[in-house]
Amino acid sequence: MRAADAGRHLGVLRRLGQTFRAGTTLVAVGVCLLVVAFVVVLAGTALPAIRHFGLRFFTDPAFSTIPVLVGTLLTSGLALLLAVPVAFGVAIFVSESAPRWLRLALTYVVDLGATIPSVVYGFWALEVLVPWMRSTVEPDLARATGGRGPFAGLPLGTDLLSASVVLAIMIVPTISALAREALRSVPRSSREAALGLGATRWDATRIAVLGPASPGLVAAVMLGLGRAIGETIAVALVIGNIYVLPTSLFSPGGTIPSLIVNRFGDAFGLQLDALIELGLILFALSFAINLGARLLIRRLEAGPRGGTPSASRRRSGALTPSAPSAAAGSLLQAPPWWERVARRRATTVRRRRLRERIVLIVLAAAVLAAVVPLASLVATAVGQGGSAVITPSFYTSVPPPFCVKANASTVCPLGGIGPAIEGTLILLGLASLVGIPVGVLTGIYLSEYGRNRFGRLLSLLTDVMVGVPSILLGVFVFALFLRYDRFDAQSALAGSAALALLMIPIVTRATETALRAVPSHLREAALALGFPRHRVTTRIVLGNARGALVTGNLLALGRAGGETAALVLTAGTSTYWFTGLRAPIAALGPLIYDDLTISIAPNWTIDAWGAALILLLIMAAVSLAARLSLRTEGEPGSE
């Protein structure tokens, strides 16, 4: 009887394990089909425009395809050129040079900068950066170059250069955070070996750290480029939105995302199909960047880490003492030529120490260049929106009526963001019900069962979806809902679906990374004790990775909470309280963007700054909670 009971128990456990694996596989297949549906729906919706216009779509001025494509590549490339040196300087300083107390503070600030919503960056750029560029930076550049070449024309402030600068400010925290983790992944023993051979700290970093970390550094740069290409709201606010070929960096212009968000609300018929075709072009750019990054990283990882043998010998020779220590202690008995050698060696040491000081100054300047814009953003938000945030009715009232000051005695009533807070919480709740479970199960499959071709394909598709611009997710949901129910294309249900699609790849990648970090000997020990595979995964692996899982989910919630571009297309425009899933719904990001389009109303501007400050506080709380959930801050290169 006992044997029979034991057999039935083992059978139940076996069926549970098979069910668990089948469930994770089914969810993973569903994610793959979702990516396929994303491409099919966009292509199918754009097909009438593709058939009707053909190649004329790229040359017809009515669609501005070539100007916005040039604007997208130009602003992204210039932003990358400005951001990479600063981001790498911050990463090297935080990982290799900063004391522990400063490293912790800078890490938190940089991670916070990576989570600030783009609409807040755009709002700050419109209020602070654009006037500074128009009054100081661009006139100085024009005088320095004689008004020729890329700096010809009238400095307006709302142009390609300002858009590139705000993009660079936005992607610096992202590139820096990823580069910092790549540098920290290099074992400490590599640094100690270089230092033991007489290298300075900068020489040790250059020789023993940057080479092995190069795959992660490339990944950071490519992810920053992907975000720059897909950025929508911040660019749309400062680029000028004139869709002609630019003649200089002072020319107003446009990008593919800014064109889509500006014209989507008024487009219909073939015009709407043409905008979705532009979205396909943007997706192709994003896919090419992600695929190119994966191939380049794979090639770097497969190549030799220490460089060529001759380079290694040169490096070793440069760090190895060139004479015995006995000669250094008795110069009087040394050969005549040894004094000249000793002098040259002392000069070389002084030169290397001076170079290290110069590098440290450059790294500190990079930190200042990254932190000052973030500090200005926070100070501006507090100064402009602080009066609204400390008003209790701000959290429970509806937005104010439109008001323009006719004279100094006109008082414009202030309103609140109550409907936007309610709508944001509803959208996040609905999106989390789908995005978090699907992302966690997909991550479990990739970590525990995905060591096959399908797993590699799913991993590639997940990376592609992480890099897809959020506005394309909004276009996809809008086109999907429009095809099956015209009245739900802009609603609470559509907005939550767009946020769920945004969260799924983020949660998937965070879950996979967290589970793969769990030591394999824990799995092997549990399996050796007779635990079934699914219980090892759910009890042992998930239990040990719960801190990282919480962090990944919090970051996904924070990313969705500050989303604007996708919600502008799918949630609709509403200033009222929630009325149903099939009706438009208010949210914080779209509220700020809508208020900026009518910036002549001072009470709307104050409401927008108050909402921006609330978003900043939410992002700060999410970032702090994510760091506290891990509770550890390892040393760089620790193992």
In a domain, 406, yes or no: no
Please report the DSSP string for 362-423 in residue order: HHHHHHHHHHHHHHHHHHHHHHHHHHHHT-GGGGTSPPPPP---SSTT--PPP---HHHHHH
How many Å from the N-terminal Cα to the C-terminal Cα in the chain? 51
Average pLDDT over every residue of 338-363: 72
In a domain, 403, yes or no: no
pLDDT at 332: 44
pLDDT at 316: 41
Helix (H, G, I), strand (E, B) or coil at 240: strand
- The Cα 301–Cα 295 span in angstroms is 10
pLDDT at 74: 92
Average pLDDT over every residue of 420-439: 90
Helix (H, G, I), strand (E, B) or coil at 234: helix
Average pLDDT over every residue of 17-38: 86
pLDDT at 132: 92
Structure tokens at 369: 């260049």
Best CA proximity match to 448, nearest among 393, 384, 391, 514: 514
Per-residue model confidence as pLDDT tens digits over 561-585? 888 888 888 887 777 888 888 888 8
Per-residue model confidence as pLDDT tens digits over 454-492? 888 888 888 888 878 888 888 888 888 877 765 567 888
pLDDT of 599 over the 60 cut: no
In a domain, 209, yes or no: yes
Lowest mean pLDDT among 40-44, 217-221, 328-332, 448-452: 328-332
| Predicted confidence band of residue 399 (pLDDT cuts 50, 70, 90) | confident
95: containing domain = 61-301+357-376
162 or 3, which is more confident: 162
Per-residue model confidence as pLDDT tens digits over 229-238? 888 888 888 9
pLDDT at 220: 82
- What sign does the dihedral 388-393-394-395 (CA atoms) show? positive
Structure tokens at 308: 């060529």
DSSP one-letter code for 488: G
Maximum C-alpha span of the chain? 97
Q: Count how many domains the chain has.
A: 1
pLDDT at 284: 87
In a domain, 461, yes or no: no
In a domain, 366, yes or no: yes
| Predicted confidence band of residue 430 (pLDDT cuts 50, 70, 90) | very high
Lowest mean pLDDT among 147-156, 391-400, 408-417, 617-626: 408-417
- What sign does the dihedral 465-467-472-478 (CA atoms) show? positive
pLDDT at 162: 92
pLDDT of 527 over the 50 cut: yes
pLDDT of 410 over the 90 cut: no
Average pLDDT over every residue of 417-445: 89
Q: What is the CA radius of gyration of the chain?
A: 28
User: Of how many residues is the chain composed?
Assistant: 639
| Predicted confidence band of residue 86 (pLDDT cuts 50, 70, 90) | very high
In a domain, 543, yes or no: no
**Average pLDDT score over the chain:** 79
Average pLDDT over every residue of 267-287: 83
pLDDT at 164: 93
In a domain, 599, yes or no: no
pLDDT at 246: 86
Per-residue model confidence as pLDDT tens digits over 289-338? 877 777 777 777 666 544 444 444 444 444 444 444 444 444 445 455 45
Per-residue model confidence as pLDDT tens digits over 105-140? 888 888 788 888 888 898 899 889 999 999 998 898
In a domain, 114, yes or no: yes
Structure tokens at 491: 């609603």
339 or 85, which is more confident: 85
Q: How much of the chain exceeds pLDDT 70, in percent?
A: 82
CATH code where residue 120 lies: 1.10.3720.10
